[in-house]
Amino acid sequence: MNLETYTLTTIISIVCSFGFGSVVTMLASRRKNNAETRLANAETKLKEIETYSKMVGDFRNQLEFQAGILKNQAEQITLLQAKEQQYLQIIANHQVTERELRKVIEQMKGQIKTLQKQYNEQN
């Protein structure tokens, strides 16, 4: 019986050590797996943040570029409006000159008629 007890004790010890080792390994592996999963999730989130940060930076650069274009266009519009005012003033001055010249032409036509009458009367 002594041999059987030792054999049984040895078998139970081996089974228990495997069982205990398996439990310890399982717990350690579980914690390791959880840690690795959390690490993978954190790395994924970091990549997402980096991607969104890059997108925001690109949008900011594009917005600044378009703002520069709009500023340029606003300056060009201001210059063109000033030029338009100059041209409108020139047109207004030409219209005044045209009216004055039309009056002079009408006066000259009247003088021509008068001179033609005088000439016809003399001949």
Residue 2, pLDDT score: 64
Provide the pLDDT for residue 24. 66
| One-letter amino acid of 11 | I
To the question of pTM greater than 0.85 for the whole model, the response is no
Query: pLDDT at position 29, please?
Result: 75
Fill in the DSSP letter of residue 1.
Answer: -
Alpha carbons 72 and 86: distance in angstroms, whole number: 21
Two tokens, residue 71: 């500023």
Mean pLDDT by 10 residues, the chain (123 residues): 63 64 69 86 95 96 97 97 97 96 96 92 82
